[in-house]
């Protein structure tokens, strides 16, 4: 099953547009877990088990694992998801982008080593840097377009012949790069007006939407701006708000509570 087909099935099965980001921050992980032999894996596993029926995807952020020298625990998280919840898409958030030969190794890392269904990619080196990822026809390539950070406007809003760069990037991805129908774009929750314009440009292409929860994105505005005609089209990511809802032994159930609340809030504004 392709990433896009898997995502569509997950939207239906969980009745959810919620994606939970797995960003294990050592300073915020419950103290009782730190005595475990694999505390990062145990933390993520408990979050997954508590929320698996509420999400359309999980998004492990590789930097949080690598900074702790915990790539082996990331591999265990990926294996656990693929074996226990194979119907849930996994987006490896690594934001890769390099020349073709190096990009090919990054694609192999994401898809063959870690077993991800999709990977985030920086498109600003052009199509040849994205092609090694795009060539995995059954895998998803989630390309940065209009990001959620305040400094996004420094480059992404620059105009070329009167058109913002982020619109040109979206148009290029939609019309030239998406030959395998495996492209998605990253559109920050903090920019609903831009999101609406990007939906017009890209049609039904899925959007990965960071910026909900800790970053303050307006759920109503983003859902109304970004959803497709059938009430889908979005993977609305929440990481910190879900993961760190509680710092004690009840952290997993607290995470479930926030995930359930967020999913239901999103669904209020779906078509």
Q: What is the pLDDT along the chain (271 residues), one digit of tens a residue?
A: 999 999 999 999 999 999 999 999 999 999 999 999 999 999 999 999 999 999 999 999 999 999 999 999 999 999 999 999 999 999 999 999 999 899 999 999 999 999 999 999 999 999 999 999 999 999 999 999 999 888 999 999 999 999 999 999 999 999 999 999 999 999 998 888 999 999 999 999 999 999 776 545 689 999 999 999 999 999 999 999 999 999 999 999 999 999 999 999 999 999 8
Tell me the C-alpha distance between 30 and 248, whole Å: 6
End-to-end CA distance of the chain: 26
Predicted local confidence at residue 212, as pLDDT: 79
Predicted local confidence at residue 262, as pLDDT: 95
pTM (two decimals):
0.96
Tell me the C-alpha distance between 23 and 240, whole Å: 7
Per-domain residue ranges for the chain?
Answer: 3-267
**Which are the catalytic amino acids?**
95
Top CATH class, 3-267: alpha beta
CA triplet 108, 80, 5: central angle to 5 degrees? 65
Predicted local confidence at residue 191, as pLDDT: 81
Predicted local confidence at residue 31, as pLDDT: 97
Predicted local confidence at residue 211, as pLDDT: 77
Q: What is the DSSP letter of 182?
A: -
Q: How far is CA 84 from the centre of its chain?
A: 20
Q: How far is CA 266 from the centre of its chain?
A: 16
In sequence order, which residues have a C-beta less than 8 Å from that of residue 117 and are 6 or more positions away? 3, 6, 89, 90, 91, 139, 140
């Amino acid at each position: 099953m392709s990433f896009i087909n898997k995502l569509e099935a997950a939207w239906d099965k969980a009745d959810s547009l919620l994606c939970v980001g797995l960003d294990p921050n050592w300073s915020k992980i419950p103290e009782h877990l730190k005595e475990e032999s694999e505390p990062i894996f145990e933390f993520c596993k408990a979050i997954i088990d508590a929320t698996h029926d509420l999400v359309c995807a999980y998004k492990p952020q590789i930097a949080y694992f690598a900074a702790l020298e915990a790539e082996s625990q990331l591999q265990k998280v990926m294996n656990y998801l693929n074996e226990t919840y194979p119907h849930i898409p996994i987006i490896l958030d690594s934001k890769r982008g390099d020349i073709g030969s190096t990009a090919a190794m990054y694609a192999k890392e994401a898809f063959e080593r870690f077993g991800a269904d999709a990977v985030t990619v920086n498109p600003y080196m052009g199509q040849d840097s994205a092609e090694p990822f795009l060539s995995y026809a059954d895998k998803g390539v989630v390309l940065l377009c209009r990001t959620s950070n305040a400094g996004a406007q420094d480059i992404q809003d620059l105009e070329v012949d009167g058109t913002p760069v982020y619109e040109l990037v979206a148009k290029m991805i939609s019309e030239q790069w998406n030959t395998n129908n495996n492209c998605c774009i990253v559109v920050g929750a903090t920019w609903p007006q831009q999101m609406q314009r990007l939906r017009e440009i890209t049609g039904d292409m899925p959007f990965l939407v960071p910026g909900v929860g800790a970053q303050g994105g307006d759920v109503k505005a983003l859902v109304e701006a970004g959803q497709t005609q059938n009430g889908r089209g979005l993977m609305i990511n929440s990481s910190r708000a879900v993961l760190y809802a509680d710092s004690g032994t009840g952290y997993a159930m607290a995470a479930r509570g926030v995930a359930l609340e967020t999913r239901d809030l999103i669904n209020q504004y779906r078509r």
